[in-house]
A = this chain, B = another copy of it.
Amino acid sequence: MKDKPSELSEHWPGAPVAGNGLLDRRVFLRGTLGGLTLSFTAPLAAAPRDALVPTQRAPGRPFENYGQPSPHERSVVRWIAATEGVPGNGISWTPLEQLDGALTPNGLHFERHHNGIPDIDPALHRLRIGGAVARPLEFDIEALLRYPRVSRQCFVECGGNSNAAWRRRPVQTTAGNFHGLVSASEWTGVPLAPLLDQAEVDAKARWVIAEGADAFSLTMSIPLSKARDDCLLALFQNGERIRPAQGYPLRLLVPGWEGVLNVKWLKNLYLAEQPAMARNETARYTELMPDGRARQFTFTMGPKSLITRPSAQMRLPSPGFYEISGLAWSGHGRVSRVEVSADGGESWAEAALAEPVLPAALTRFRAPWRWSGGPAVLQSRVTDETGRVQPSRAELLAERGRHGYYHYNAIVSWAVAADGYLTHAYVDTPPETTPLEDLFMDEKWD
């Protein structure tokens, strides 16, 4: 079977452009097919020419004020990994492999909470801007809603996303439960810069210390230059007001930087000459390097991509044509290029990028592939507009050593077995034994 194209595949217009069956992305573009049939699968049956599917005979359900997904899609939910013994502490993962497009529905945006989701009455909430300012200010939500707003589509990614890939053996789970601490939305809110101008920030100030109103009181330090550049006080997400789990009524948006900086339930912005040196910028979100020193304030999320379909724990039903589809992003700017490999990085084909391609946003990529039925290793590699390239796992480990935890952005490999089943694989790093510390990695969400 593996070397004999099916009846439908004979219609395929293009020869492979990279090893193991990768085809030219231009077959997706209208007008390049030359009348040939893009037959990815056989239809169920040849139906009689005039056979129509019969009509339902009873009225359907009534209207609703606010819609919900189909009960048939009830498996499309976030996996919740809560920390035992700490109420409301944990994470939930966006099921990336079950979604398509470049945006995440609000109900499925990943979450990271330290002490649960506070119920905040927007009429009582306040934002204060204080510290090294000439005019300390206090706003309620109604006052903030008077200011001019901007909208932008961008991702939020947890600095600890994909950290299971630091383990010495490949962890087997779905793409979303592995890499799903990244989501993308259209955010709308008030730019921070004019509010800082209004508060008359002292010339010596270099940091903005943001604090949330949850019981954990998450505190994070952000360079003033970034705050002035493109930070938003986000009030709307994908058109509607931000939901409680995303920071209602007010969230700080720090485009392209670590998710933890996007402080939810924002209540204080404190201007200072020095960072706060708070728990989540000292005991957490620092990285021990091979030379024994730790990196700190590693804000920007690097270039990263992964194939979401097909991906781990899926099974290809038969040899033939498939669309490889995935997400690429970089905190440094726009995605400029995504390449896909079906032979573990021996050869690469250019993927098609879905418009719009926006800075610090998720970009959907697609590439056509003909699976022969033999072993394959699927990978994607992104290059961003600054020229930064997503590293291989070997390159990442060479730079960062074996004590990494945050900012894992190496190429992801999905191995396809002869029966079509996909697993997570390491293909360019040697096998390692599993020391005890791996056992503790799940415990770090605290």
Q: Which residues of A contact B (CB under 8 A)?
A: 28, 30, 33, 35-53, 55-73, 76-78, 80, 82, 87-88, 90, 92, 98-109, 111, 113, 115-119, 121-122, 126-128, 130-131, 133, 135-140, 143, 146-153, 186-188, 191, 193-194, 197-198, 211, 213-215, 217, 229, 235-236, 238-241, 243-246, 248-249, 267-268, 270, 321-323, 325, 354-356, 358, 364, 366, 368
Contact = CB atoms under 8 A, between A and B. Distances in A.
Q: How many copies does the complex hold?
A: 2
A73 B241 contact: yes
20 contacts: A38-B148, A40-B147, A44-B143, A46-B136, A47-B130, A53-B128, A53-B213, A59-B215, A60-B118, A62-B82, A63-B82, A63-B117, A67-B109, A70-B243, A100-B149, A101-B236, A102-B151, A102-B239, A103-B239, A146-B323
Contacts of A105: 105-106, 238-240
Nearest to A121: B72
- For the residues of A in contact with B, the DSSP-based class is loop
Contacts of A229: 30
B136 A48 contact: yes
Given A44-B140, A53-B211, A56-B217, 9 more contacts: A28-B148, A35-B197, A51-B130, A53-B127, A69-B240, A102-B239, A105-B239, A355-B356, A356-B356
A317 to B, nearest CB: 9
B60 A194 contact: no
Nearest to A322: B146
A287 to B, nearest CB: 27
B44 A65 contact: no
Contacts of A268: 52-53
Given A28-B148, A131-B50, A135-B46, A108 B215 contact: no
A-B interface, 6 closest residue pairs, ranked by CB to CB distance from nearest? A60-B116, A65-B77, A38-B194, A59-B87, A356-B356, A41-B146
B148 A104 contact: no
A67 B106 contact: yes
A90 to B, nearest CB: 6
A137 B46 contact: yes
A71, A117, A146: residue with the most chain B Cβ atoms closer than 10 Å = A146
A121 to B, nearest CB: 7
Given A68-B107, A368-B148, A139 B239 contact: no
Contacts of A122: 70, 72
B137 A59 contact: no
